């Protein structure tokens, strides 16, 4: 964890939430694949695995001083990226600026894992109950045991954050720990991946005890598709060996559709010919032919279009003589 004496000014929840959304949008635009922690409701986790993780964290006095602030950070969307890998948790948290956090978890001791498997032998009724966390009390006590269960102790976790806080567990790391509990709600197999064990061995040990029942005989519960999604395994569909029963339905006679009407061929009517222009003949006397040619024949003839020259006005006589 970095050490310096600079502490940035306080930012409100709304400011941090808006800033986290803006930074996440920028990283996504650059091609960074982010897995933000989204918490719905007032509880940090809702499933058996998520709630058991959170209760385990709150049982240690090493964490109790910083967990409330981390719970607030996680609930308000400060953890914009959380990736759980084998023995490591990497996260990005938005505080006064973007901080990088890394948590390294030691693998589960082989002796502890073997004891957990032996405790599950013959005590798991159905695979559905294992997925949903509805286990027998004896199995649940072993899995959630504070010191010998699946969950890591503070001594098995090394913490590192790029923030300037001197505390071993800062509020950003506490938010990451609560984010792990929220992530286990939908992906409980990540807990086994984090501790470096195979969850299928737990199922095989239960099946060896003769108590594992397939989902087909388990009554109401998760379907095969949901089981495969939760545990990351492929469940082959059941193959039925019984012969199909003959159908008791009577055949129905289907009447053919009526024939389509014969299309009627329509002959287009040819367009009527346009009338020829009328010819006008003018009779001109022989002695007036030259005048007709020169256009002077009808020049002085009155007509509607050529009223002729104006009539001369008679001169009024006066009495002077």
Domain containing 213: what range?
109-149+198-234
Q: Are residues 86 and 58 in the same domain?
A: yes
Q: Are residues 96 and 214 in the same domain?
A: no
Choosing from 196, 223, 256, the residue where a domain stops is 196
Q: For 89, list phi and psi in degrees, rounded to 5.
A: -130, 125
For residue 289, is it within any domain?
no
Choosing from 196, 221, 252, the residue where a domain stops is 196
Dist CA 201 CA 192 (whole Å): 11
pLDDT in tens, the chain (321 residues): 444 455 566 667 677 778 888 888 888 888 888 889 988 888 888 888 899 999 998 988 778 788 888 998 898 888 999 999 999 999 999 888 899 999 999 999 999 888 888 877 766 555 555 556 666 677 778 888 888 889 999 999 999 999 988 778 899 999 999 999 999 988 888 998 999 998 777 766 655 655 444 444 444 344 555 545 555 555 555 555 556 555 556 666 777 777 777 777 777 777 777 777 776 666 767 777 777 676 665 555 555 555 555 555 656 655 554
Sign of the Cα torsion 118, 123, 126, 129 reads negative
- Counting the structural domains of the chain, the total is 2
Residue with tokens 């959304």: 21
Dist CA 3 CA 268 (whole Å): 96
Choosing from 196, 222, 253, the residue where a domain stops is 196
């Amino acid at each position: 964890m970095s050490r310096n004496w600079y502490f940035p000014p306080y930012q409100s929840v709304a400011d941090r939430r808006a800033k986290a959304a803006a930074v996440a949008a920028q990283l996504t635009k650059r091609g960074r694949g982010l897995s933000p922690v989204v918490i719905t409701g007032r509880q940090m986790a809702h499933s058996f695995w998520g709630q058991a993780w959170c209760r385990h964290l709150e049982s240690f006095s090493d964490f109790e001083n910083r967990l409330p602030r981390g719970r607030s950070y996680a609930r308000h969307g400060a953890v914009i990226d959380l990736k759980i890998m084998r023995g490591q948790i990497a996260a990005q948290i938005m505080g006064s600026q973007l901080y990088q956090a890394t948590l390294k978890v030691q693998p589960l001791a082989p002796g502890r894992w073997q004891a957990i498997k032996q405790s599950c032998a013959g005590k798991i009724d159905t695979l559905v109950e294992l997925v949903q966390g509805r286990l027998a009390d004896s199995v649940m006590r072993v899995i959630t045991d504070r010191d010998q269960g699946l969950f890591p102790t503070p001594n098995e976790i090394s913490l590192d954050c790029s923030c300037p806080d001197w505390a071993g567990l800062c509020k950003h790391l506490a938010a990451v720990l609560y984010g792990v509990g929220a992530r286990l709600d939908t992906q409980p197999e990540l807990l086994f991946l984090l501790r470096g064990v195979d969850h299928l061995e737990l199922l095989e040990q239960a099946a060896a005890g003769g108590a594992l029942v397939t989902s087909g005989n388990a009554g109401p519960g998760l379907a095969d598709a949901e089981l495969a999604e939760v545990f990351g395994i492929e469940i082959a569909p059941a193959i039925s060996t019984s012969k199909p029963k003959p159908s008791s339905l009577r055949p129905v006679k289907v009447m053919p559709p009526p024939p389509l009407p014969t299309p009627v061929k329509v002959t287009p009517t040819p367009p009527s010919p346009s009338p020829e222009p009328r010819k006008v003949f003018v009779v001109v006397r022989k002695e007036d032919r030259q005048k007709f040619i020169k256009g002077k024949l009808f020049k002085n003839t009155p007509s509607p279009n050529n009223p002729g020259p104006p009539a001369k006005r008679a001169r009024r006589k006066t009495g002077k003589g």
